[in-house]
Amino acid sequence: MLISIGVGVLLFLNQNKQLTQPEAQKIRSSTGGVASYTNIPSPDHVVIIMMENKSKNAILGSREAPYINSLIQKYSLAGNYFAITHPSLPNYIALIGGSTFNITSDCTDCFIASPNFIDQLEEYHKTWKTYMESMPSSCFLGNDGTYAQKHNPFIYFDDIRNNPDRCRNIIPYTELEKDFKSIATTPNFAWISPNLCHDMHDCSIAQGDSWLSREVPLILTSPAFKQQQSLLIITWDEGEESGSNQIPTLFIGDMVKPGFVTQAHYTHYSLLHTIESLWKMPPLTVNVANSALITDILLKGN
């Protein structure tokens, strides 16, 4: 079955539910070249925490989320930011693959043979790890208790899952505290998926907010954030099914404007595009290239 998702982008779905994308689409776009920032330093580290299934209106000003709202007051908020689609998995895939690859469910066997953000990170000599709360072991395939595979997009890409050197970077969240004690062991790019309770999927906003209030300070007081230029992003995979899919996205660290809210229109593709651009990488796909760079929340250097 042949599926078209954009100009020059063709995907093929075979009997093994493996999704592919032409090599030519790897890091080329309709605009070409590498978008760049002016007088904005590249971060040494970028950390993403992915929360679950809450709209912007459910979080902003909520009495259940005092810690999140305190971060909004102190740092920057993308106030007009949207997920790509429903349900969870295609949003996760879009953030590191630049496409949903026609995935429309939380499938566990829809593996993808396509270039992805990890390929770019390694090409540009950036280290990376993903920290999955309640995952029983590194490179674990499947669901287990409050760990859900659908919240781990990295395991879906063939060139990550089938490469032992890469797959061992998909590790339980318990490893994060040890890694973040030293700049030398803090990856340039870190992804954090809390478990099904702490990400607000199965439990309340208050429980997710409480988890963030314990875990975020550990990141912000780490040497990577105290001694280097680092950026923490907290976002949600999607909003409620019946809503507009508008979600809160926070940008935290010394790189961002304090107490700032932007109303520019952004999406998950914008976030990927922004990280790539800060690290002088070309956009991964046409979807990414055609998305707006998140420039207005960042402080310019000298």
Q: In the prediction, which pLDDT does 195 show?
A: 98
| Structure confidence at residue 118 (pLDDT) | 98
Mean pLDDT of the chain, nearest integer: 90
| Cα–Cα dist 264/261, whole Å | 9
- pLDDT-derived band at 7, boundaries 50, 70, 90: very low
Query: What is the Cα–Cα distance from 293 to 68, expressed in whole angstroms?
Result: 24
Query: What's the rounded mean pLDDT across residues 95-105?
Result: 98
Domain assignment of residue 201, given as a range: 2-289
pLDDT at 53 over 90: yes
Answer whether residue 299 is part of any domain: no
Structural domain count, the chain: 1
pLDDT at 32: 34
What is the per-residue pLDDT across 136-173, written as a single tens digit (0 to 9) for each?
999 999 999 999 999 999 999 999 999 999 999 999 99
pTM: 0.90
The more confident residue out of 59 and 14 is 59
CATH of the domain at 278: 3.40.720.10
DSSP string, 221-277: TSHHHHTS-EEEEEEES---TTS--EEEEEEESTTB-TTEEE-S-EEHHHHHHHHHH
Residue 17 has pLDDT above 70, yes or no: no
Give the model's confidence band at 5: pLDDT under 50 very low, under 70 low, under 90 confident, else very high.
very low
In a domain, 296, yes or no: no
* pLDDT exceeds cutoff 80 at 14: no
Is residue 207 assigned to a domain? yes
Q: Range with the lowest mean pLDDT among 35-49, 63-77, 91-105?
A: 35-49
pLDDT tens digit string along 19-52?
544 333 443 333 333 455 667 889 999 999 999 9
Structural domain contains residue 300 = no
pLDDT > 50? residue 301: yes
- The length of the chain is 302
Share of the chain above pLDDT 70, in %: 87
pLDDT at 302: 46
Range with the lowest mean pLDDT among 1-10, 79-88, 122-131? 1-10
Question: Does 302 reside within a domain?
Answer: no
Residue 259 within any structural domain of the chain: yes
230 lies in some domain? yes
pLDDT band at 300 (very low <50, low <70, confident <90, very high): confident
Q: Is 199 exposed, middle or buried (0-12, 13-18, 19+ CB in 10 A)?
A: buried
Neighbours of 188 (CB within 10 A): 20
Residue with tokens 């956009």: 283
Residue 277 has pLDDT above 90, yes or no: yes
pLDDT of res. 19? 52
